[in-house]
Amino acid sequence: MAKKAATKRKVKKKAKKLTSVPCAFCQGTGKDPFRLLSPMAACGVCGGTGQVEVEEPYVPCAFCRGTGIHHRSRLTCTACMGKGVIAIKKPVESCPTCHGLGRDPRNELDLPCTTCLGAGVVSI
Ligand SMILES: [Zn+2]
Ligand SMILES: [Zn+2]
Ligand SMILES: [Zn+2]
């Protein structure tokens, strides 16, 4: 019995469109901006390359205002993981819960808004 040759592979329907942007956390330097470990420590977000890959389309992270840094600590922003941008399907509109702030106005702990996950906008 001859085996059927299955040479054709299924082509992925939607390949994720990735693009490189300068790492927000280290501002593209590749170095740990706060030198918590050592002055030579590599940025934990981009691994020292100064660039991070994000899915397109994306918007600036409202929670950290695109800095990649959690404003109360010196840790990476919990909404964008330090990239400074958040992938989101466009078109978008201002988040009805936080009105673009990216943080939950009712939450005292200062966590990213649970509706937009910190992006400040939601897909329409
Ligand atoms: Zn970096
Ligand atoms: Zn952020
Ligand atoms: Zn929101």
- Per residue in 44-91, pLDDT (tens digit) is 999 999 999 999 999 999 999 999 999 778 889 999 999 999 999 999
CA of 122 to the centre of ligand 3 (A): 7
Structure confidence at residue 37 as a pLDDT band (50, 70, 90):
low
Question: Mind listing the pLDDT tens digit for each residue in 101-116?
Answer: 999 877 777 789 999 9
Give the up-direction half-sphere exposure of residue 92: CA atoms within 13 A in the CB hemisphere: 20
pTM: 0.82
- Cα separation of 100 and 24, whole Å? 20
CA of 28 to the centre of ligand 1 (A): 6
- Cα separation of 73 and 25, whole Å? 13
CA of 5 to the centre of ligand 1 (A): 46
CA of 38 to the centre of ligand 3 (A): 36
CA of 79 to the centre of ligand 2 (A): 5
Ion ligand 3 — residues with CB < 5 Å: 95, 97-98, 113, 115-116
Cα–Cα distances (Å) from 68 to 8, 44, 52, 73, in that order, read: 43, 11, 11, 11
Residue 14: what pLDDT?
66
Tokens of residue 105, six digits: 């106005």
